[in-house]
Structure 1
Amino acid sequence: MQLSWRRDSIVPVGLAVAVTIATALPATRYMTGLQFDQLAGRAENTLGLAVSALRGELARYENLPALIAQHDSIRALVRDPGNGPLADQVNRELEAINALLGSSVIYAMLPDGTTVAASNHGAPDSFVGGNFAYRPYFSDALAGGEGRFFALGTTSLKRGYYFGAPIREAGRITGVLVFKVDIDPIEMTWKGADYGIVVTDPEGIIFMSDRAEWTYAAIEALTEERLARTAETRRYAETELRELPVTRGQGPGGHLLMTVPEPQGRTEYLALTEAMPEMDWTVKVLMQTRPARIQALIAVAALLSLFWVAVLIWLSLQQRRRRFEERLAVQREAQETLERRVGERTADLAEVNRRLEEEVIERRATERELRKTQSDLVQAGKLAALGQMSAALSHEFNQPLGAVRAYAENAGILLERGRIDEAQQNLADISALVERMDVLGRHLRNFARMPNTELQTVALEQVIRDTRPIIAPRLRAAGVELETEIGDGDHDGPLLVRAGPVRLQQVLVNIISNAADAVEGRPDPRIRLTARRRGDRVTVAVRDNGPGVAPGIAARIFDPFFTTKGVGKGLGLGLSISYNIVKDFGGSLHLSSPDGGGAEMLLELPAATARDLPEAAE
């Protein structure tokens, strides 16, 4: 059987070898062309981004020289260049403008090319006193046009792009203002990429590149005419120029190829070029072709491998065809058995599914009942807190009521005696006391009502302000003042959180009440509330100088009905309810024992921004 298989395979294998030999070279050329087209597409996108970045960066400063040239102090200095105090003033002004705009240097020149003021007047390489009449940007601006020129500074030896603008007065040109922009930051963005970018001047000399060794090298022949034109403008100062030995060729699809000698050997690049006529620059993007050629070879190898895998699979299938026929009969029998068992299992699964549906219905009903119970517990906790404060609140109401009675009796006596003004003052005092009781009652009604469960953007300082009247009687009973320190929120605005205002107020009442219980009776009771924003969270810390919480108690402090207070002083629900409320807000509540004694309750809530406020609040 094995010998027969080999004889039958001779012809197909021979045909496969012939197909491989005949298609390898054309396939390699075709795949190389596809890879080069993709590489050219990447190069085109990169070139467009690079040119746009250059134009955009320089366009930021394009109109600034003409604007600065209109300053009265600069015009006055050009009229009177020997005015020392005025020159010092203009130097300082140009220095301030240069620092504000982030340019390289700004300087003003007389019609003969002499620099009379510069932003770098205090530097060792100051331009003041220098003559740059040989620069094209000076002559173009002096002729009334826009001076534009790239060059290496003859004084600073730093590359830059120069903008020149005429200084005009009474319809005539009295000088030139020059604005130099540093191009190094643009060049730094090209470092580390898997492609090369070069920018050449009209003579073909590279003055910007992601590779330092290519700078000031020419990709065109440095003829005497080109060197003379470069020397005339002193574009590159005293820098020695050299030719970069470049070999040009044409790749698949007509793409321009450039081969450049490098320390590790000759490297071939696919080159795309775009001219920038407004600056007289040429930008080239160079993409290494070696990865594209390797990818083409890998693709051809993969295709041929797939072809041979298909041939081997076909040969193997021919050998196994009979075995498959035998196995088919076995599988048919197994399939019938499996279908029978599946039918039996399907019936069992249907019964289990029915039971699961009943359990889901029961679980949902239990869940609804649990949520209702939890809501009732929250309200019960609030009412329990109000009950604990009832004695202090009774004192809060009885004191102004007694005062109202006294003021009313006095007012009657004053009216009988005809002292109308004093009686009116008593009535005004009565009205103020009634307003005080109304405010306290309104806060208690808001606190006791059922809260809205939907979250909203809440100003934390307002919630704390509304909490103070409710908790004030308990704090006075404990002999302590609540110290607060609330930080700023987004863009120095109010501190905003995502919460429910009524439920957040309940949490603060519970926490501050527990702190008051802890410090009551101590010689120097203190409670301090601080709020800070940290990233996307707001932390509210309530710290007291009480005896602290033992580790064994701290582990159970958030359990329902757990309390360390005496009988009738608490249900043990306050912190448990507060913990669940904060969890619903997407926050957290935990207890810590800070250095220096006492206890600190840390409440973390999601931070909100001013744009999250509803329109009505805005």
Structure 2
Amino acid sequence: MRRRLFISLVIAIGVLLTVMVGSFTYSSVEKRFTTEIEYDVYQLQEKLSAELARYSEIPVVLSADPRLKRLLRVPNSERLLKDTNLLLSNWNARLNSDVLYLMDRNGLTLAASNADAPQSFVGHNYNYRPYFQQALKGQKGRYYALGVVSDKRGYYFSYPIWDGKEITGVLTLKVDLSIIDSIWDQQKFDYLIADPLGVVFYSSRDEWLYQSLSILSDPQKENIRDSRRYGDSALSHLTKFTALEDIEAQEALHLGLPNKDRERVLVSNTDLGSAGWRIYGFIPTSNAWPVVTQSVLIFATFYGLLVLVLTAWLQTVKAQRKLARLNDELEQKVASRTASLEETNTKLRQSIQQYEDTQKALRQTENELIQAAKLAMLGELSASINHEINQPLAAMRTYTENSIKLMDKERYDSVKGNLNQLNELIGMVADIVARFKIFARKQNLEGKARASLDDAITASLKLSAASFIKKGIQIACYMPEKGLMVNADTVQLEQVILNLLNNASQAVMNTPSPEIGIKVETFLERVSIHVWDNGPGVDNDTKKHIFSPFYTTKKEGLGLGLTICRRIVEEFGGSLQISDHPTGGAEFTITLQRLYDGDTPQ
């Protein structure tokens, strides 16, 4: 009786321990699967976000090409249509994108990279697409949809074509999202990507495509079908949930089409960014059973063999010791991983601090470089400084010597006249020194960016006047209005204009009748300052690199002057461009925001 009870107890203990091992193994495998899919979903999100970010700014850059604007101005020109189709085709090939196409402001496609393909976008109107409507509002457009013409899934990036202050068209780039397949090739579990309504537009399983994670209302389904975003899909729900927020909070759920048995899966999801997409990763819980079965069989075999060798009491003691050891190891792993996480957080904080220090040093170096450029320019103007000061000094000496002689003759009225002349000459020298002192001082970074255009141009011309007179250069200055205010710092704007004048004086050194001009054009929201010369001009190759750091055509110089000038202008929201002057020579154009009384500088 006792033996039978003992055996029953051993068997009961064995069954109990087997169930515990199976449960523990299942829990461990489930946690491991959850950790793996969380990591892999995060990796997919990072790679896909980076891939989409690579394309997001391309329409912004390409939309500034003047060739696109010319076609929008003359949309019926066969030559411009042919040239623009070829241009878009070349761009599309270089970008390795799906399609690149240009629409007018009514949504009609005028030119496309696939103009010669059977499924050409040319002639199709896409004014109902949200990416077109976003671009017409002056915004960057982003949208995912199933192509109406190509029947291919794709993500669309768009940007308006600005002709002056008017939007005349929209440039759109379509990216084939088959890149997700290449990113996902090495993953071990199923995935899907859903839009903000929960509609699946990309999945590792074809039957999930264009279905909904949650239960959609009839109006929602009608709106989706009317947008033609996913064709005529049935939009069946893959889960029993009515709200996406409930799905996002789940660690496990039952997934599948309504007409099939839904399987229980572990789930992890993450937001994909500004597009509003979410990436979901799934592993069926049934994948854990082979591991659990193997673990249970191993334990049962081990337990059976142990029972045959040892007594039930020894078996129980060893089992307890083993479980205690497993718990200790688990606690050690948890402690080790916690310490590793704390160390990683410390390193991250140190990296952030190092990055902030580097940014601060970079800004300081940039300001010092601008100051060094100003001082270098003063060095180039030193000859004219010397000439401007020597003239009044020579006159002062003559008046002084004359006054001494008049004092001996007691002609005090004449001496008084000489002293008045000396006082005016001293004021002239002080004014010359003050101009160069103001120009050489460091910029107050906390000052308001509000500059008088009259003062900046007048000061620049005064600083350059002596040098231009010495070289026989004629100056032409045209300003249609007085009292113009622009969004810039006066000293830095003066530095830019003076640098352009100095470059112009060097360009006309070998010109028979050298001439340099400054012309101001005013518009409602901006002011353009044109600095031109009648020198030999600049070739097209030099124009492409003239604003690049360390690029120079001079025998002496670092090639940083124009780079610094453009950087200064762009910091105030303006632009600096080079072109050919109509009468020959080069022309630099500074464009800045115009300010009125009461306007706040940017």
> TM-score, normalised to structure 1's length?
0.46
> TM-score, normalised to structure 2's length?
0.48
